[in-house]
Structure formats: C-alpha cells, structure tokens
Amino acid sequence: MLHRMALRVLPSLTLAVTAEPVRKRKRLVMLAPGLVAFVIYRLTKQIVPLSDAVTLLAVSGVVSAATAVWAYRRGRQVSLAQVWREDGMRRLAWLVGWIGFVYGVQLSLMVLALLKILANYDFLQHPDGPAMMAIIIACTSVARDAFEIGHVRFLQRQGEPVVTFPDGASFRDVVVARTGQIVRWALFPAFGCAVMAVGLGTVHDLAATGLAQLILVTLCAGSLSVWAYWAGEQRPGGWSVMMSAAGWMELFRYWWWPGLAFAATYYLSWAGLIFFVVRTDVSGSLTRGAIAGAVAGMMAGYCYYLGYRRHVENQLQQIVPPSLLRCPFVMGILSKQPTLRQGEPPPEAQSNLVAPAVAAGKES
C-alpha cells in the first residue's frame, strides 16, 4: 500500500490526483467495477466454493488484476495497445501483479479480518456476506488507485514533471542510498512494538485478543511512523524546531492519517492471513510479536521514505505547506497553475539536490 500513501502524502502527486475534474472521473470509474464485481461474485459462487478462503482470495485477486488494467487505461486516456507500446511489459506486469492481484488480496484479507475482529462476523462461519464485501471493496479500491496512477502517468507523458512516480522504484533507490537510516528506522520500531505486544499480552489475557492487539499495535506503529517521517524529511534545527514548525495540528493529522489508518490496515491484513489462510489465532505470543514487528517495521520504513521524498520535492519545487494540501479550494487553485512542460526539473533546482544526495551516499 506504499503507492496509496505516496499518492496522498507527496504534494506533487496529491495535487495531480485531487483536482476536481479528476475526482469526478474517478467516481465514475470506481462505480462500474463495484457493480461488475457484484455480478461476478453472484456468478462465481455457483461454480467455485467461495467459502474456501484461498479460493476467495484467488478470485478477488484475478478480478482486481483485470480491474487494475481497465482503470489504469481510463486514467491514461489512451487505448490498451498504446499503453502496451508506451509503458512496456515491466510496468504493466507491476500493475497487474502488484496493484491488481497482490493489493486486491491484501484488501480482501483486511475486510475479512475487520469483520471478524470488530463485528464478530466470521467468514469461516458465515461466508456469503464477508466474501461479497471482500471482492467488491477490493475491486473498488484497486480501481481508484489504478486510475490515479494512470492519471499520473498521463501527466508524465504530457510533459509534466513527476518527481516521484508511485511504482516503488524510488523506494528501492532510497533503500540503496540510505540503507543505514532505513534499517535503523525499521528495526528499532519493529523490536519495540513487538516487545510491547508480547509483554502486554502476557500481563493480561485481554490484551492478547485480536481487538486489543489491533488498538495497541495501531497506536504504537502509527505513533512511531510520525517520528520516522520527520526524520526522513530532514528539516533543519532538530526535533523541537521541526515540531514547532509543523504545529500540533499537522502532527495530529499525520498521526491520524496515514499513521494510525495504515497501521490498522496493515495489522488487519496480517491478521486476516493468520485467521483465514494459516487457520490459527492471533493470541499466541510468537504470532503477536511477529505481526506487531512487521507492521511497525513496514510503517516506519515507508514513512521515512515518504519523508525523504518530501524533502526531495521541497528541494526541486516550491514548498507547499501540508495543511494547505488538505484544503480543496487551495488545491483547486494550485492545480490550475502553469507547470514546466518538460520531463525534468530546471538545472538550478537539480543542483540543490546534489548535496543531499552525496551526503546520503556517504551516510549509508
């Protein structure tokens, strides 16, 4: 789900996909796959046993993969043949495999776990309702994200400068360039959150339940991700100056989304895998620690990366305060401003990035 976080955290991507004309088209794109997914569910349940979790996840992944291709093409505003020629097999394979199948399966697991933990609506006991919701919600969410990625690619082909394309390539570059920082910010939160989950569950049985672990891991991993983001953004003056410049309201907003929201999402996805694929409970000490560590490590590493990419964008473009990005009126004005009609930022902006890049290579 790193692409989803990038589309809403990085200013260049946020402005691109939240313009009012884009949002209107996106609503229509999201509506059609949801209806089609419902029809596919009704037909498929007569042929294959959707009461089996693996079969359900496979069907959801295949439907989501097909949806990703269709929605991406709608965002690109060209034919599928032209998409194949211009984007190539590698990007389409990433779109189908990662944004379509894997993301769809992950969302389906999240829905199944959410219903089990919060509503006590267990897919293994009552499969019809959860199965239908898992397929429809996954398909609709994949359509939304694939459309937005396609629109970003459309702008890129039009000559708009896209500093960070949400395909994971820049994340791999940051991991290579700043290996030490990424590892440190992933391992320490992972270890701390795992110890917390195991320790509190040992102290009291109530803390070992799925709902309690969801709350504890979400709070812990979401809070640590805020620190990782600010560390990656590299604002001058130290932690106190950074927090003063950001303001408590902005800190709360980032803590709430993507911090808590995606920490809960990742926990539910892992819990769904344990519940419905492995067929065991999440209350065991080893399972609790593994899920908590995985969620905290992923969130901290991803948020450090997002902070660093925000730092890069601030070097290349005008700095847009995060609070303004949440105002639709301001985003509407900014999205109408003229931009550079070329594929790369101006030379003077590129020179501002040389020093941080060299320093990053030395530190890693």
What pLDDT, in 10s, does the model give residues 304-326? 999 999 988 888 765 555 555 44
**pLDDT(360) > 90:** no
Decide which of 147 and 315 is more confident.
147
State the pLDDT confidence band at 358, using cuts at 50, 70 and 90. Answer: very low
Q: How far, CA to CA in Å, does 20 sit from each of 26, 60, 291, 318, 333? A: 10, 30, 39, 22, 10
pLDDT tens-digit profile of 64-97?
999 999 999 999 999 999 999 999 999 999 999 9
**pLDDT of 168:** 86
Element (H, E) at 263: helix 261-272
The pTM (predicted TM-score) of the whole model is 0.84
Mean pLDDT of the chain: 86
Higher pLDDT, 69 or 161: 69
Residue 328, pLDDT > 50, answer no
pLDDT band at 338 (very low <50, low <70, confident <90, very high): very low
Left (φ > 0), alpha (ψ -120 to 50) or beta: where does 310 sit? alpha
Q: What average pLDDT does range 96-103 have in this prediction?
A: 97
Tokens representing 108 are 């389906």
- Helix, strand, coil abundance in the chain, percent, nearest 5: 80, 0, 20
- Grade residue 12 by pLDDT with cuts at 50, 70 and 90: confident
Confidence of residue 234 (pLDDT cuts 50, 70, 90): confident
List, as one string, the DSSP characters of 180-244: HHHHHHHHHHHHHHHHHHHHHHHH-GGGGSHHHHHHHHHHHHHHHHHHHHHHHHT-TTHHHHHHH
With cut-offs at 50, 70 and 90, classify the pLDDT of residue 344.
very low
Beta strand ranges found along the chain (DSSP E): none
- What is the arithmetic mean of pLDDT over 268-288? 94
Mean pLDDT for the stretch of residues 47-75? 96
More confidently predicted of 31 and 327? 31
User: Tell me, what's the pLDDT at 238?
Assistant: 67
257: exposed, middle or buried (Cβ count in 10 Å: 0-12, 13-18, 19+): middle
166 SS3 class: coil
Q: What is the pLDDT of residue 62?
A: 97
Cα gap 320→304, rounded to integer Å: 19
What's the confidence (pLDDT) of residue 357?
41
User: Can you say how many angstroms the Cα of residue 134 is from the centroid of all Cα atoms in its chain?
Assistant: 18
pLDDT value at position 335? Answer: 44
> What mean pLDDT is predicted for residues 333-362?
42
Question: What is the rounded average pLDDT of the residues 46-50?
Answer: 92
pLDDT digits (tens, 9 = 90+) for 30-41: 999 999 999 999
- In the prediction, which pLDDT does 84 show? 93
Percent of the chain with pLDDT over 70: 84
Q: Are 232 and 305 in contact (CB under 8 A)?
A: yes
Residue that is written with structure tokens 């949400």 in the block: 166
Quote the distance between the C-alpha of residue 156 and its chain's center. 21
- Under the banding of pLDDT at 50, 70 and 90, the label for residue 274 is very high
- Label residue 252 by pLDDT band (50, 70, 90): confident
Does residue 114 or residue 159 have the better pLDDT? 114
pLDDT at 160: 87
CB 14 within 8 A of CB 326: no
